[in-house]
Amino acid sequence: MNHKLNDNRRHCDVLLIHPPWFRLQDSSLIPYPAGPCSVAAVLEAAGLDALVWNGDFVPEGPLSIGGTNILKTDELVLAHDKYLARLNDHDDPIWYEVLEIIEITSPKVVGISVYSASFKSAANIATIIKEKHPDIAIVFGGVHASIAPEDCLSVCSAVDVVMVGEAECSSAVLFSALLPGKKSPPDMARIKGIAYRENGTVVRTEPAEVVKDLDTIPFPARHLLIDLEKMPPHAHQALYGFRGCPFNCIFCGSFNVFGRKPRMRSAEKMVEEIEFVHQLYGTRYFYICDDIFLLHRERALKFCSLLKEKKLNVYYSIQTRGEMMDEGLLAQLKATGCQHLAIGVEVGDEEIRKLIKKGNTVDDIRRAARMIRQAGLRMVGFFMFGFPWETKEQMLKTADLMEEINPCISFPYIVTPAPGTELLDIAQNMGLVDPHVDLSSFSHISPKMGISANVSESERKQLIDGILERFAQHNRKSLRYDFFRRPGFYLAAARDVGITSSCSSLLKYLNTIVQ
């Protein structure tokens, strides 16, 4: 895998697109899109010429973490109206950029990754391409496509095929079949894991197999990204090694794609990818996106052991659950460069925790925060407010818990009853969500969300604004203090983002942290 950093603005057979979403809100998603890059790797291994366009990437775009500004947590909420205006304005420059990419790459087939929040953006892209290039076959894939393939086909007439489930198993067969030049039309019924139209009716084929051994999937094809040469080392930091969650949180719909049975890449493959990306792209800070990295303790310890053997000068952070740690494991994480443990705290009220089927307690979270701090590591907390049963007092308890456990970084999210989740069924049965609501509003930063039946609409905005400001104040204070304790890490992170080459950018970054 001796990939070169070359300009990928060239012709290809298959173009895979991550549609713009953050960009419509004046933000930017710098990290590579995992789904399209994984599919591109499989297509490349099968001999197909593919490229990937991250429509959310802006060179030298706004500096943000997790798609939002943690120092001003209402940033994307305030931008929501502008987002909707740009989303529905087909004269917005971003849609002309889509056609420019199509003209440059001249693909025969376009695959578009679709989340519920980005469905309208994906549909816009499909429609724009089809109107100008009717011979290009258009495929939808991703989480929302897997949850609602019939809706994708009925709502967006420009879509030809929808992939259902994990795309790696059937993508090479499907995209090969859709390429022009075949002597006879492809027999779509033989391709597993897809939905398509036939005589005005939506047909779903036999479900595709899941990838039983994740080690067999090639590393994501970062090298096939358009504008790769403009991307900083930070763009390549994400690692994915886990599919299938055994827990039953009502707000999560990942089981629709990956199932409930956990499957994991080996520790050997995870460390191999870190070494490969570090050497090729210079990335020093990695984020392991496994939902529950510590679910298998021995795998986590093996990962630490292998990373120590390699003697790579890198940092990394992980995600896990509050009850899945011990002193020995935390010590190994610390010794091998781990910086943060990100935990889904969600809410501070025990009654609400049971209703959302979180599966652990507030005391588990308190214990985790103490252990992480004692190990010399930092906690990142994800919090939610606005569940159907929550009162104002219960939502404020979540903010109180955040301040009590004192994470290094805290992310507040507005409850979103996403398609494919038990939460959406509950919200609809309670009459809190219109079954036909525009998916443009289904986002954890949308002020139209926050569906508590116990908080009036007039009170909701003031409550949300107040909670967001508490989180922003906490993050400003916490990061200022943390910077002076870990200047080496923050400078390495700044280098990965690509701002150390400019004195003005570096000073702006430092001022943002220590203001």
pLDDT tens across 209-264, in order? 889 999 999 999 999 999 999 999 999 999 999 999 999 999 998 888 888 899 99
Q: What is the pLDDT of residue 444?
A: 66
Phi, psi of 281 (to 5 degrees): -110, -5
> Would you state the structure tokens that stand for residue 430, as one six-digit string?
């309670």
pLDDT tens across 93-146, in order? 999 999 999 999 999 999 999 998 899 999 999 999 999 999 999 999 999 999
State mean pLDDT over 185-200: 90
Q: What is the pLDDT of residue 261?
A: 93
pLDDT-derived band at 7, boundaries 50, 70, 90 = low
State mean pLDDT over 82-94: 89
Q: Which residue has the higher pLDDT, 486 or 69?
A: 486
Q: What is the pLDDT of residue 236?
A: 95
> Is residue 509 predicted with pLDDT exceeding 50?
no
End-to-end Cα distance, the chain: 43
* Burial class of residue 181 in the structure, from the number of CB atoms within 10 Å of its CB (0-12 exposed, 13-18 middle, 19+ buried): exposed
Q: Which residue has the higher pLDDT, 509 or 367?
A: 367
- Quote the CA–CA distance of 73 and 76 in Å, as a whole number: 7
- Quote the CA–CA distance of 458 and 37 in Å, as a whole number: 44
- Radius of gyration from C-alpha coordinates of the chain: 22
Element (H, E) at 410: strand 409-414
> Is residue 300 predicted with pLDDT exceeding 60?
yes
> Is residue 37 predicted with pLDDT exceeding 70?
yes
Q: Check if the beta carbon of residue 494 is closer than 8 Å to that of residue 286.
A: no
Q: What is the pLDDT of residue 79?
A: 73
Mean per-residue pLDDT of the chain: 89
Q: What is the pLDDT of residue 133?
A: 97
> Is residue 447 predicted with pLDDT exceeding 80?
no
pLDDT tens across 42-74, in order? 999 999 999 999 999 987 666 555 455 555 666
Which domains are present in the chain? 14-204 (3.40.50.280), 237-481 (3.20.20.70)
> Is residue 309 predicted with pLDDT exceeding 70?
yes
- Quote the CA–CA distance of 55 and 46 in Å, as a whole number: 25
C-alpha dihedral (174, 180, 186, 188), degrees to nearest 10: 40
Q: What is the pLDDT of residue 64?
A: 52
